Structure 1
């Protein structure tokens, strides 16, 4: 009986204790930001005031051409967590993680890169929105929180402070008075300049949690992975008034590409549904009729204020990382889960296969690399982050990955073996090369092929596929390689 009990205790030791124990590895601070397009002060042409992220980019590496796999939150996060491009229709959905990961038993194949870190000795801590759920648990927007974890095997610890909003999803759509989009039945504006301090919105509480956790982790003898998810600048564009006051609205520039694209079917667009559901917005956005310049400036102002608010919260976390001395052995990754149309091509939102919805922020600082290039212009994808993190942690993948480690680029390598990115949505696949974007849709509405020349303009305004058959023919085989079985009728 004693031998039997001893074996049981040994088994439990290896299953529950060992995965969260120490190894000599660098720490990893991963910060996910909702809807953060390339809108930082460090980006050319940006109007954003983001001193903390600018400083990090100048100390590390800013990827100027980083593209997500899917321009919607849950599906984009499924790709980065699994290191895979979409190969099922469910992988294009915000419920991709719930349907594909959440109810699965633990196996030797990790559910995410975080899971592999955990089973390899990292202490993994999640704060806020890392997968799709606002707080890491599965429940609908207006339901009471469940106890079912979205990533059941990835975290040693998981935390969220919902404050006066009570639940994660209420906090995600929070207004400063403690109400939220759901409780107010969408009778709200898509923006708010709150007369409150940073803790008057949930991201301020998330920053405080992260700072407190870093103070604990600095005494740990084992490496950690700390994932921190910030909500803003996701709609509603709510932020303390002091961040609105950073900007002079009269000087804010509206989109330089505000018109409908030429030679493109309307089914390629989004219908601004996410934006228009905020019922008290002064104007609705329609493809047939653009919003006024006055309102376009107001909404851009709101987005910029939300970006500056998030920058300040990230700054608090980075300040504590440095104060604790952890910055010397902690790799920092800042990732935006997709881009956003700010009136570009008459759209306010994501959910397209155009540049504005697919290009997002990516900054990496690896302290063991003495001289990182501050600006990396090569095309990279979100699926590249999984193998990058494994190489940082000195680990080999335990499953098939579609991306490539970015470490060579961080070390200054100029020749990149994958000079293109694939993205998927709206029954289509798009290929981004250094010169072009080629998109193929699997639909009845024509045209189904779109080609944009990025050597002429960064704005995608004219589909030149019909007049450029040689370019289309040359790129189409590369685009076809990006098909992962998602569309049965692909050629």
Structure 2
């Protein structure tokens, strides 16, 4: 009898415990975040069939690509700060390239705002950064011609930050690198804004960034924790330097040039802005000004360099994504590819960024969720860079640390539904801009007239004519919306 009782007890305990066993936990998703400097949506998938970008195009076909994604600030450091914090600018420092140093580098660990990388780390992720993700290309605070300091731009964010400057020795030297080991600074600006050298992918620093990224992926494969891997590529930022094999992909004589190489009608030249960044390359074949466009031949040469730089980075991204798949990590990794702002390729008589026109504020955004969670789609809803922070957290099941200006795009990606208003806001020096379905309105706080610009994107997508004077009711309605978002520092220059 005792043996029977023991047997029954054993069976009860065995099956009882089995019934209480929980279903296996689904591991937290990984994140691969790819930042590409100065990448306007000049890609095959975005409609430019001349550009050779097969790997980025394929990523977009497997995920969601956003046709109307806008950054908050058309300069590298400030755009990345808004991205990383989920907040639009509220102080003048927030539109400055040095904002990471002036704000995040000096704050205490528990202060807000915190970067989404920091928040992932606090929620159990291994966070690894490679290349240009904040403003400095190696995550450290120092000037272009200085030795690296020990001050980190994002001191609490990274489990580890990796950057190999190679023969260029420092991050900023590598950022402005030429194939012979020199850089813009070492040659005192006596350089051209482009180079085509017969070197391998690792003959320029972006190839070294890829090499480090592949090594880090293999390390992350062996750990049990989820990871956030950020990879920041330099090109197509100036100088347009890329291995010759990528230049050889193009027939320069057939490269189309800007159809709008002039200052828009009824616009003050100050709205277009300076080209100081381009002028740092003192051996440029021609010097563009707002009074004189470059020749068509030189425009084609510069655009050729920009396209070759895109194709170079596209090839590196293809290798990175192939390794993710080879390691079987793609099945549980969210992939985001983001451009930090656009660039005028002779449009509006400008070569550079730093304006409140569509060419500067509109950039590339592609999001791919792993496995069955995603379907291929083109999304035409207006979205902003500040939307990425809440989107990343939403998909990974992590709560937001504070209220943000951005809205999660997860519902839009997964079901096409969103409560997001079709508006985007851009900020630069003396002006603020709002993009809606049909219009862009920009208001400047300056002496020069006109101070208000209105463009009808349905009839004038290139923003060739300011029609503000002809449509006062539209202007008034958009100014009301715009001024709700107006940072207080603009009141100083009203």
TM-score (norm 1): 0.94
Q: What are the Cα deviations for residues 86-106 of structure 1, in whole angstroms up to 9, with x where unaligned?
A: 000011100011101101121
Structure 2 Cα separation of the partners of residues 182 and 78 of structure 1: 25
User: How far does the alpha carbon of each residue in 1:146-185 deviate from its partner, in whole angstroms, 9 at most, with x for none?
Assistant: 1211100000011001000000000000000000000000
Say whether 1:283 aligns with 2:286: yes
* 1:42–1:57 Cα contact (<8 Å) kept: yes
From 469, 485, 490, give the equivalent of 1:487.
490
Which residue does 1:53 correspond to in 2? Answer: 56
Partner of residue 217, structure 2: 214
Alignment match, 2:197: 194
Q: Which residue of 2 aligns with 1:74?
A: 77
**Structure 2 stretches of 5 or more lacking a match?**
1-24
**Contact 2:446–2:493 (CA under 8 A) maintained in structure 1:** no
Query: What's the RMSD between the two structures over aligned residues?
Result: 1.5
Structure having the higher Rg: 2
Matched, 1:203 2:206: yes
Q: 1:177 aligns with which of 164, 180, 189?
A: 180
Deviations 1:46-77 (A, max 9, x none): 52100100000000011010000000000001
2:328 is aligned, of 325, 328, 331, to 325
Equivalent runs, 1:409-420 vs 2, <5 Å: 409-420=412-423
Residue in structure 2 matched with residue 242 of structure 1 by the alignment = 245
Match in the other structure for 2:469: 466
Q: Give the C-alpha shift of residue 110 in structure 1.
A: 5.4
Alignment of 1:370-409 (within 5 A): 370-409=373-412
Q: Which residue of 1 aligns with 2:297?
A: 294
* C-alpha deviation, 1:34, in angstroms: 0.5
Is 1:351 aligned to residue 391 of structure 2? no
User: Separation in 1 of the partners of 2:254 and 2:129?
Assistant: 39
Query: Residues 245-278 of structure 1: CA distance to partner in whole angstroms, max 9, x if unpaired?
Result: 0000011000011111100111101222211220
Separation (CA, whole Å) in 2 of partners of 1:97 and 1:254: 36
Q: Is residue 2:150 matched to residue 1:140?
A: no
> CA 1:23 to 1:158, structure 2 compared with 1: closer, same or farther past 3 Å?
farther
Q: Does 1:226 pair with 2:244?
A: no
1:23, 1:152 → 2: CA distance?
31
Provide the C-alpha distance between the structure 2 equivalents of 1:33 and 1:114, rounded to a whole number of angstroms.
17
Q: Matched residue pairs, number?
A: 470
**What's the offset of the Cα at 1:44?**
1.3
How far is the alpha carbon of 1:23 from its aligned partner?
9.3
The 3 A distance-change label for structure 1 pair 399 and 217 is: same
Contact 2:78 2:99 (C-alpha < 8 Å) held by counterparts: yes
Aligned to 2:9: none
| Structure 1 gap segments, 5+ residues each | 1-21
Q: Distance in 2 between matches of 1:134 and 1:259?
A: 34
- What is the SS of the residue equivalent to 1:187? coil
Conserved 8 A contact 1:268-1:426 = no
